[in-house]
């Protein structure tokens, strides 16, 4: 009798510890997603701003300038739902213009060009960092985590990077 009680208490303690550990893990992952998302957002905004600045600088030819300007404008003004597509289109435009090595050299040669080149490369790295976040969904469906929803809200668990990677435009995404 006592033995059964002890086992039950032990089992309960074990389940409790496991739940608390899982919840902690989930919470940490959510924090990481938020941090990564904020960082990516900042990088994308910065990319769009630098693109707009470059488009109006007169360093590039007017046709390329207008293509870049319109894409950057769309990316900055996009609503949350269309953001992913708009950013992908900006990536596409940047790739189309800077696919030619001579063009990149031309920008680098201009004052401040070196920094500008850096700001386009950063978002693609930023997309990769939250890769850890893709493990979050694998934690979430665990039955105990589902019943004991203690950490983070599920609505946050769809990372932007997942959309960019697996979405319709995955191959052309900023990543």
Partner 1 sequence: MKIGIVCPYSWDVPGGVQFHIRDLAEHLVRLGHEVSVLAPADDDTPLPPYVVSAGRAVPVSYNGSVARLSFGFLSAARVRRWLHDGTFDVVHIHEPASPSLGLLTCWAAQGPIVATFHTSNPRSRAMIAAYPILQPALEKISARIAVSEYARRTLVEHLGGDAVVIPNGVDVDFFARAEPRKEWQGETLGFIGRIDEPRKGLPVLMRALPKILTERPGARLLVAGRGDEEEAVASLPAEMRSRVEFLGMVSDEDKARLLRSVDVYVAPNTGGESFGIILVEALSAGAPVLASDLDAFAQVLDQGSAGELFANEDAEALADAAVALLGDAARRAELSARGSAHVRRFDWSTVGADILAVYETVTDGAAAVDTDERTGGLRARLGL
Which residue, 43 or 65, has its beta carbon nearer to partner 1?
A: 65
Sequence-ordered list of residues with C-beta below 8 angstroms from that of 126, at least 6 positions apart, any chain: 36, 39, 40, 43, 44
Q: How far is the CB of 44 from partner 1 (least distance, A)?
A: 17
Q: C-beta of 163: minimal distance to partner 1 in Å? A: 18
Q: Which residues contact 25 (CB under 8 A, 6 or more apart)?
A: 139
Q: CB 63 → partner 1: shortest distance, Å? A: 4
Task: CB nearer to partner 1: give 35 or 109.
Answer: 109
CA neighbor of 142 nearest in space, from 43, 2, 23, 8: 23
User: Interface residues with partner 1 (CB under 8 A)?
Assistant: 55-59, 61-67, 69-71, 73-74, 89, 92-93, 96-97, 99-100, 102-103, 106, 110
For 47-133, where are the E strands, in sequence order?
none
Q: What is the DSSP string of 36-71?
A: HHHHHHHHHHHHHHHHHHHHHHTSS-HHHHHHHHHH
Kindly state the smallest distance separating residue 150's Cβ from partner 1, in Å.
44
CB of 23 or CB of 74, closer to partner 1: 74
Q: Which residue has the tokens 């470059």?
A: 54
Q: Looking at beta carbons only, is 92 or 134 nearer to partner 1?
A: 92
């Amino acid at each position: 009798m006592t033995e059964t009680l002890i086992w039950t208490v032990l089992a309960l303690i074990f389940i409790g510890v496991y739940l608390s550990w899982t919840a902690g893990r989930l919470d940490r992952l959510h924090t990481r997603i938020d941090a990564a998302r904020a960082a990516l957002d900042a990088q994308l905004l910065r990319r769009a701003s630098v693109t707009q600045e470059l488009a109006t600088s007169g360093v590039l030819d007017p046709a390329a300038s207008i293509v870049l300007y319109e894409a950057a404008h769309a990316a900055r003004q996009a609503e949350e739902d269309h953001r992913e597509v708009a950013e992908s289109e900006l990536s596409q435009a940047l790739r189309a213009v800077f696919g030619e090595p001579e063009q990149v050299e031309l920008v680098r040669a201009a004052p401040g060009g070196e920094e500008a080149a850096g700001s386009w490369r950063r978002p693609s790295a930023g997309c990769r960092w939250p890769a850890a976040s893709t493990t979050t969904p694998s934690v979430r469906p665990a039955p105990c985590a589902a019943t004991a929803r203690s950490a983070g809200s599920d609505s946050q668990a769809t990372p932007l990077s997942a959309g960019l990677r697996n979405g319709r435009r995955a191959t052309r995404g900023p990543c």
